[in-house]
């Protein structure tokens, strides 16, 4: 729907967890707030992610809003819900809270400029409809700008080809077809699992082995849900006190505080628990110390290799020498991914040995082979964290964009604002917990920090804020220092911006954990928003 007026106090961009949370809370507090989104409905990433097998990697108990009015009469059918159930959940939230009355859908931002004289943002959209607001909140998430690698001849392909995040809403039927998947991240593993069961041929093109963890999927009845809901209030409260905003955390001991046998028993327990337990519920030094990390990797490798019949195939998927430390790239969750490589209709292509040389009308050529294909799925990830914000062309009073400012390194204060772009805040963005944090947890806790700031300005009669450059440099240095004390720089991940050619290689998120981040933000708040210039 369209709002009667396109001038607002607060304009939110993005109808995912963060955007909707901010819309509802600000509306309750009496702000004139409106939201716009490029999709035709609520859900954010869960509108666009409709590829085969797409599902969440956080268990449903905390992958939702903590408001009892929203979960009290909602029942999940799976521990890790699929995209269709996530869409239904957001529609449930919309029905309960009438979110849509304050949203303009199918409205994609193309440009936004701050008017120094009016002290307002002017936002342009593809529809030709412009918006004006005192404050803009960019809630586009870390995965809103898909990245497709440039490969010679790709436009000549006569079959169906698309990025996982731009999958056709009507779907693609794999039956009777030859399917190629380029990339082995979260979307790659999920598409490959489905294609291997349906397609005549499934070819997986792998550049770097991904250290997938067991999902531990299971189905729930209404009685199951009733029992689980009794624990939810306590689990929601726990999120604030854990590194990743989950309801579990790292153990307060080293991997070497115990015997080899006890360590393996602990690893087995974490493995059987499924999800991210083996990653974020492990020993406190696994992401800090290479020797501790190696114990986790070798346990992982033994588990994986035992499922693959061909030793040569196992070495490609789970090499004896780790390609990078375990956990410095976000682990994807798998259900039967490793098993598909025992199927007769599945091929694995190691791109480091046999790189793709060309895409032709009917398939893909590598250095030593040709693979005939009807479908190519680009599971090649995103220009993550910074890409979606830079893509909207936010410009300052002099016409310089955020993308230009960040070309040689990200600068923000507290991961919510960047100097020179007044009255602009972003949620679940750069130099905040973001990709290390459960999305709904971040939406609520970081959202409350943003709300506190806007309420403070309203109560004090202030109309404009801007981050101070010195505060940005201090925040940036703290992130560099925290990162250098970890193993994250040893992996070429999207965490480090290393998946995008030409992108500055640096930690794009706050690696100190959610509790420490909230402590920093609340200290800033309690000191009168030190590091922000307000007037």
* The pLDDT of residue 399: 86
The DSSP secondary structure of 398-433, one letter per residue, reads TS-BHHHHGGG----BTTTB-TTSTTEEESS-TTSS
Question: Residue 240 and residue 397: Cα distance in Å, rounded?
Answer: 38
Average pLDDT estimate for 192-198: 98
Q: Is the pLDDT of residue 237 over 50?
A: yes
* The pLDDT of residue 506: 97
Q: For 284-300, what is each residue's pLDDT tens digit?
A: 999 999 999 999 999 99
> Percent of the chain, pLDDT > 90?
98
Domains along the chain with CATH numbers: 7-145+383-534 (3.50.50.60), 154-219+240-378 (no CATH)
> How many distinct helices (H) and strands (E) make up the chain?
16, 20
Look at the pTM and tell me if it is higher than 0.95. yes
* The pLDDT of residue 4: 46
Average pLDDT estimate for 243-270: 98
Q: Is 11 helix (H, G, I), strand (E, B) or coil?
A: strand
Average pLDDT estimate for 308-327: 97
Strands across the sheet containing 160-163? 160-163, 375-378, 178-182, 201-206, 346-350
Question: Residue 44 and residue 41: Cα distance in Å, rounded?
Answer: 8
Q: Is the pLDDT of residue 3 over 60?
A: no
* The pLDDT of residue 398: 85
* The pLDDT of residue 204: 98
Task: Calculate the average pLDDT of the chain.
Answer: 97
Q: Say if CB 531 and CB 412 are below 8 A apart.
A: no
Q: How confident is the model at residue 397 (pLDDT cuts 50, 70, 90)?
A: confident
Q: Is the pLDDT of residue 251 over 50?
A: yes
Query: What is residue 394's DSSP assignment?
Result: E
Average pLDDT estimate for 240-256: 98
Q: Say if CB 383 and CB 503 are below 8 A apart.
A: yes
* The pLDDT of residue 2: 40
Question: Residue 497 and residue 17: Cα distance in Å, rounded?
Answer: 24
Return phi, psi of residue 243, to 5°.
-50, -50
């Amino acid at each position: 729907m369209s709002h009667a007026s396109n001038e607002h106090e607060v304009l939110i961009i993005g109808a995912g967890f963060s955007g909707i949370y901010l819309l509802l809370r600000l509306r309750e507090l009496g702000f004139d707030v409106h939201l716009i989104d490029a999709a035709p409905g609520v859900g954010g990433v869960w509108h666009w992610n409709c590829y085969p097998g797409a599902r969440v990697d956080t268990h449903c108990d905390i992958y939702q809003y903590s408001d009892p009015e929203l979960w009290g009469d909602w029942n999940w059918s799976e521990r890790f819900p699929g995209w269709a159930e996530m869409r239904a959940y957001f529609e449930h939230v919309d029905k309960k809270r009438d979110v849509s009355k304050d949203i303009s859908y199918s409205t994609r931002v193309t440009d936004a400029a701050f008017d120094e004289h009016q002290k307002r943002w002017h936002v342009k959209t593809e529809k030709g409809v412009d918006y004006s607001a005192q404050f803009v909140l960019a809630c586009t998430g870390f995965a809103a700008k898909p990245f497709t690698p440039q490969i010679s001849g790709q436009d000549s392909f006569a079959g169906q080809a698309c990025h996982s995040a731009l999958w056709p809403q009507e779907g693609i039927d794999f039956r009777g077809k030859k399917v190629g998947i380029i990339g082995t991240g979260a979307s790659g593993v999920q598409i490959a699992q489905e294609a291997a069961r349906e397609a005549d041929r499934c070819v997986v093109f792998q550049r770097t082995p991904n250290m997938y963890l067991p999902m531990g999927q299971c189905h729930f009845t209404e009685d199951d849900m009733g029992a689980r809901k009794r624990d939810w209030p306590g689990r929601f409260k726990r999120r604030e006190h854990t590194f990743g905003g989950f309801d579990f955390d790292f153990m307060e001991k080293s991997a070497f505080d115990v015997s080899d046998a006890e360590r393996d028993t602990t690893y087995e327990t974490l493995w059987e628990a499924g999800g991210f337990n083996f990653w974020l519920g492990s020993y406190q030094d696994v992401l800090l110390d290479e020797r501790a990390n190696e114990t986790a990797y070798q346990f992982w490798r033994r588990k994986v290799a035992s499922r693959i019949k061909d030793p040569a195939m196992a070495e490609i998927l789970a090499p004896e020498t780790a390609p990078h430390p375990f956990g410095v790239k976000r682990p994807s969750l798998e259900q039967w991914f490793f098993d598909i490589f025992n199927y007769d209709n599945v091929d694995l292509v190691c791109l480091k040995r046999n790189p793709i040389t060309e895409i032709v009308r009917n398939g893909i050529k590598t250095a030593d082979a040709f693979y005939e294909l009807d479908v190519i799925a680009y599971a090649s990830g995103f220009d993550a964290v910074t890409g979606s914000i830079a893509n909207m062309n936010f410009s300052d009073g002099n016409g310089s964009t955020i993308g230009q400012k960040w070309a040689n390194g990200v600068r923000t204060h507290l991961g919510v604002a960047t100097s020179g772009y007044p009255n602009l805040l972003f949620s679940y963005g750069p130099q905040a917990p973001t990709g290390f944090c459960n999305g709904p947890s971040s939406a609520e806790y970081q959202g409350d920090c943003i709300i506190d700031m806007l309420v403070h300005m309203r109560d004090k009669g202030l109309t404009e804020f801007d981050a101070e450059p010195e505060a940005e440099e201090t925040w940036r240095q703290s992130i560099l220092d925290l990162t250098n004390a970890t193993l994250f720089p040893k992996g070429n991940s999207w965490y480090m911006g290393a998946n995008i050619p030409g992108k500055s290689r640096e930690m794009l998120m706050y690696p100190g954990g959610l509790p420490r981040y909230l402590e920093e933000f609340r200290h800033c708040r309690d000191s009168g928003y030190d590091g922000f210039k307000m007037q």
